[in-house]
Amino acid sequence: MELAHRYAALLTAPEGMLREAPADGFSDDRSELELQAHWFAGDFGTSFLTATNGERVEVVQFGVWNREAGPDFTDAAVRFPDRDGAPVLRGAIELDTSAEDWERHGHGSNPAFDGVVLHLYLRQGLRQPFTRTSQHRQIAQVQLDYRQIEQRPPPAPLPLAMPGRCLGPLRLLDKEQVRTLLSAAAQYRLEIKNRRWQRLASVRGYDQALFQSLAITLGYKENKLPFALLAQRLPLKVLQAEQKAATALLLGAAGFLQAPEFGEDKSAKETRAYLRDCWEHWWPRRSQMDRLILPAAAWKLAGLRPANHPQRRLAALAQLARRWPEVRALIDGGSADFGKDVIRFLTGLRDEYWYHHYTLHSARTARPLALIGASRATEMLANVFFPLAIAQRPERWTPYEKLPATTTNRRVETVIARLFGERANGEAWIKTAVHQQGLLQIYEDFCLRDDSDCERCTFPERVKRFEFQRV
């Protein structure tokens, strides 16, 4: 793991050669998306906007387009020069056509909007509304002037994020140098993860720590927390001792088994029989678990693909608990085909009922459904199995480095846009799990810590001094 040290040196290098910090009447046919594009392109200006209370607001960083639920732009930074210390606030920005949309769309009571630091709008409405979070924190409001974009065509194409200052230095590197840099950042990330994992294992024990880590990857990506809670409340030892009842216990503690419903349930006979069986296992233990049953609000089910429903994933977790000796043997054994063995094991897990049902009540599917699909299995391999196996046998880094990534996510796409500009320029670096991990580490170490719109970020200078030659 020699490269990890080089990346650590890049993070801590003396800054002598590094950059010094500087002294110091809207048309309804414009869609909200178009307005956001104009905002993001800087067409409304950045320095100094005037808030509705008269104070000046400087947009230091436009942030990143949020294509998911929540505020319009995340990871933005705004400065308030008139406040004591001229603080820079990092957070999200929401842009609405009307100021009243904040309350009309329920943002004021939605915790997902608690991190908003600036509310932009074009129309004020009859009275001046108050923009507040669910914690009753007041948010600065700026009314944008539509005349600034009246004559402008919509900017296209819409970038996910603005390219950063490091684009130039990274362009000067050849492919091998970029590969080395990303691999170094990925090794560094792996070492951090392993240290965190060792701490968990020293408190909970190796097996329980591994079980919790696997549960969290099954909760990807919206339901990590409820899966972590369930793995804590129904630890591996309990599920191993209960074997037959394991799935029912997990479904019950998750709050998915309500009052006996199989009597009147209009589902097929097979579903009624399964529910009855679950209930028989769950009922005798329910009173002991009563206080620990998760509320329905703990689960995020909106927008989930049926194959990813947590009920299926809990059935998979129960299967892992039942076949635990095989899980341990995969990590501890010396297989030359480690990656393939793990994928084969995970995708081969079977459960008679869940082999043909998306959820507890869904109709039987004609097509069999893998309990863990190939893409989730690869994520589990990349995020849990490989890191632990490499800690035991560092030579496993070589096959890990070649592991193809099965998916990308908003963070990876964002860092590609910031470091490489056009997606085509960074395309080569999203193809493997290791390079994605390296990109994420750089994003967290530099982009997420920067509140100067790249101006004071030291990554571009540090890249020039990185030790690229592979030993």
Region 161-180 residues binding ligand SF4, contact defined as CB under 6 A: 164-166
Is 191 or 450 the residue whose CB approaches ligand SF4 more closely?
A: 450
Using the structure block, give the residue that is written with the tokens 């030892």.
Answer: 237
- 8 A C-beta contact, residue 316 and residue 218: yes
Is 165 or 435 the residue whose CB approaches ligand SF4 more closely?
A: 165
Name the minimum Å distance from CB 97 to ligand SF4. 30
Handedness of CA 126, 132, 138, 139 (dihedral sign): negative
> What are the φ and ψ backbone dihedral angles of 296, each rounded to 5 degrees?
-55, -30
Binder among 91, 447, 451, 462 for ligand SF4 (CB under 6 A): 447
Is 63 or 164 the residue whose CB approaches ligand SF4 more closely?
A: 164
- Cβ neighbours of 305 (radius 10 Å): 8
What is the length of the chain? 471
* Contact flag: residue 454 with ligand SF4 (CB under 6 A): yes
Candidates 121-129, 351-359, 387-395, 447-455; binding stretch for ligand SF4 (CB under 6 A): 447-455
Is 64 or 246 the residue whose CB approaches ligand SF4 more closely?
A: 64
Rounded distance, CA 348 to CA 369, Å?
11
Is 214 or 447 the residue whose CB approaches ligand SF4 more closely?
A: 447
Q: What's the first-to-final CA gap in the chain, in angstroms? A: 11
Is 184 or 320 the residue whose CB approaches ligand SF4 more closely?
A: 184
* Contact flag: residue 446 with ligand SF4 (CB under 6 A): yes
* Contact flag: residue 63 with ligand SF4 (CB under 6 A): no
* Contact flag: residue 459 with ligand SF4 (CB under 6 A): yes
Find, among 168, 360, 340, the residue nearest to 252 by Cα. 360
Shortest-Cβ-distance residue relative to ligand SF4? 164
Half-sphere exposure in the Cβ direction for 262 (13 Å, CA): 14
Candidates 92-100, 220-228, 298-306, 446-454; binding stretch for ligand SF4 (CB under 6 A): 446-454
Binder among 72, 242, 450, 451 for ligand SF4 (CB under 6 A): 450
Residue 73: strand pairing partners = 65, 93
**Binding letters toward ligand SF4, positions 115-154, x by CB under 6 A:** ----------------------------------------
Name the minimum Å distance from CB 463 to ligand SF4. 9
Look up residue 204 and give its two tokens.
């909970």
- Cβ neighbours of 106 (radius 10 Å): 11
For ligand SF4, how many residues bind (rule: CB under 6 A)? 12
Is 117 or 161 the residue whose CB approaches ligand SF4 more closely?
A: 161
Rounded distance, CA 360 to CA 371, Å?
14
Half-sphere exposure in the Cβ direction for 442 (13 Å, CA): 30
Angle at 51 between CA 47 and CA 53, to 5 degrees: 145
Name the minimum Å distance from CB 220 to ligand SF4. 25
* Contact flag: residue 185 with ligand SF4 (CB under 6 A): no
* Contact flag: residue 426 with ligand SF4 (CB under 6 A): no
Helical spans, DSSP H, in 219-268: 224-233, 236-242, 246-253
Taking CA atoms, 42 is separated from 47, 97, 149, 159, 298, in Å, by 10, 17, 10, 12, 38
Characterise 243 by phi-psi region: left (phi > 0), alpha (psi -120 to 50), beta (else): left
Name the minimum Å distance from CB 15 to ligand SF4. 14
* Contact flag: residue 457 with ligand SF4 (CB under 6 A): yes
* Contact flag: residue 418 with ligand SF4 (CB under 6 A): yes
Using CB under 6 A, list all residues that contact ligand SF4. 164-166, 418-419, 446-447, 450, 454, 457, 459-460
